[in-house]
Amino acid sequence: MKERVLMKGNEAIAEAAVRGGCRFFAGYPITPQNEIPEYLSKRLPEVGGSFIQSESEVSAINMIYGASCAGARAMTSSSSPGISLKQEGLSYIACGQLPCVVINMVRGGPGLGTIYPGQADYFQAVKGGGHGDYKLFVYTPATVQEAVDITYKSFEMADKYRIPVLILGDGTIGQMMEPVVLPEMKDPATFPEKKWALTGCKGRERNIINTLDMNPERLEAITDRLFDVYEQIRENETEYENYMCDDAETVIVAYGIVSRVAKSAVNILREQGKKVGLFRPITVSPYPDKALSAIADLPNVKKFLVAELSKGQMVEDVRLIVNGRKPVEFYGRTGGFVINTEELISVVEGGKR
């Protein structure tokens, strides 16, 4: 049996990245994700990787652009205000079809906001964020173990689909300590060759990675390809957890830290004989729309309740998918508050709003 170790979310993610083959990290300090760069500043050189504390978030994401162009598995991490600054780079990375992993330990906003958790970067993560037509592949871990597993897998997904993967965590996931089983160390020498990468054009035509094309046909073809890939991901890789939805009358929809609270609420309400379930998307871009849609079709399901740490962002996707078949209610907190179990139970029972 593999050893379980007690680790802080941010450090566990950093170690999982190294084990998943990450050999380049650039980032800028911002709370609540500082343990990721701190850990990697020591860890990456041990495995022959490169760590840079960059002069800015903008520079960090562009260093990732460079390292990814060069063929390395590369990662950056930040928290909300810093992720806003990375949007320019993410647009270029997406257009250049450059694989990389970006961690957002979301804090409450807008503006400088707070260092306490939030989920108000959902729109930014799943609707684009930067300029132009592109999508990120977005995961939302709910436990430290899941954050580890997702981080490890994200490098594979990024390489397989040549897409930037964003891990949408929150301050709680980053800061909490939980027991985790760490995955095996991968050897980057065993990774498939990236024929498109800038590695020095020995014995081949030169490779050019750019995001500029003044030819409308070609640029439209590039954009089409980005969205074809996104649809392949929707088909093959969307993930979710269906927790007691099949006989539920009320289905709570929540991700990340709120989904843990929701699961506790479901357990308590079930003990009271109340038919409540939880739908937890693990990927939110692409959204597990088929699975949620199937739940919306269940005759026993009377309503959905979307709970988020925002003024209502994921609720828009849920409403689009449910498409009027069932009522979709919303409950959100902001300012750094995390919804607690009693509060959520009260909302489910038609109390507090």
Considering only 2, 184, 190, 212, the residue that binds other proteins (CB under 8 A) is 212
CA dihedral 98, 104, 108, 113 (to 10 degrees): -70
240 binds other proteins (CB under 8 A): no
Decide if residue 304 touches other proteins (CB under 8 A). Answer: no
CA–CA separation, 288 vs 281, rounded Å? 6
The one-letter code for the residue type at 52 is I
Region of residue 322 (phi > 0: left; psi between -120 and 50: alpha; otherwise: beta): alpha
* Sequence letter at residue 235: E
Tell me if 23 contacts other proteins by CB under 8 A.
Answer: yes
Contact residue for other proteins among 2, 46, 193, 208 (CB under 8 A): 208
Q: Is 145 in contact with 103 (CB distance < 8 Å)?
A: no
The packing angle between helices 341-348 and 256-271, to 10°, is 60
Q: For residue 129, state whether it binds other proteins (rule: CB under 8 A).
A: no
Contact track, other proteins, 91-110, x by CB under 8 A: -x---x--------------
Least separation in angstroms between CB 19 and other proteins: 19
CA distances from 277 to 90, 256, 318, 345, 347 (A): 36, 16, 15, 12, 14
Retrieve residue 293's tokens: 């849609």
Phi-psi region of 350 (alpha: psi -120 to 50; beta: other; left: phi over 0): left
* Interface with other proteins, residue 206, by CB under 8 A: yes
Give whole-number Cα distances, 321 to 138, 240, 290, 292, in Å. Answer: 18, 15, 8, 7
- 26 near other proteins, rule: CB under 8 A: yes
> Scanning the structure block, which residue is given the tokens 């959902």?
122
Distance CA 296, CA 124 (A): 26
Count of residues in contact with other proteins, rule CB under 8 A: 40
Cβ closer to other proteins: 51 or 287?
A: 51
- Each residue 36-75 as x (binds other proteins by CB under 8 A) or -, in order, gives --------------x-x-xxx-xxx-xxxxxxxxxxx-x-
Interface stretch with other proteins, choices 84-92, 108-116, 218-226, 302-310 (CB under 8 A): 84-92
* Spatial contact of 254 and 264, defined as CB atoms under 8 Å apart: no
Q: Which is nearer to other proteins, 62 or 114 (CB)?
A: 62
Q: Is 88 in the site for other proteins (CB under 8 A)?
A: yes
What sign for the dihedral angle of Cα 160, 163, 169, 175? positive
| Measured distance CA(229)–CA(226) in Å, rounded | 5
Which member of 200, 327, 335, 351 binds other proteins (CB under 8 A)?
Answer: 200
State in angstroms the smallest separation of the CB of 301 from other proteins.
Answer: 46
Give the shortest CB-169-to-other proteins separation in angstroms.
Answer: 24
* Residue 76, φ and ψ in degrees, nearest 5: -135, 160
Query: Is 202 an interacting residue with respect to other proteins (CB under 8 A)?
Result: yes
Contact with other proteins (CB under 8 A) among 211, 223, 232, 264: 211
Stretch that binds other proteins, among 85-93, 286-294, 303-311, 342-350 (CB under 8 A): 85-93
In angstroms, give the least distance from the CB of 27 to other proteins: 12
In the complex, least distance from residue 139 CB atom to other proteins, rounded to whole angstroms: 23
Tokens found for residue 335:
């300012």
Smallest distance, Å, CB 48 to other proteins?
11
By CB under 8 A, residue 126 contacts other proteins: no
Closer residue to other proteins (CB): 88 or 239: 88
Three-state DSSP state, 227: helix
**Residue 198 in the binding site for other proteins (CB under 8 A):** yes
**For binding to other proteins (CB under 8 A), which residues are involved?**
23-24, 26, 50, 52, 54-56, 58-60, 62-72, 74, 88-89, 92, 96, 198-203, 206-212
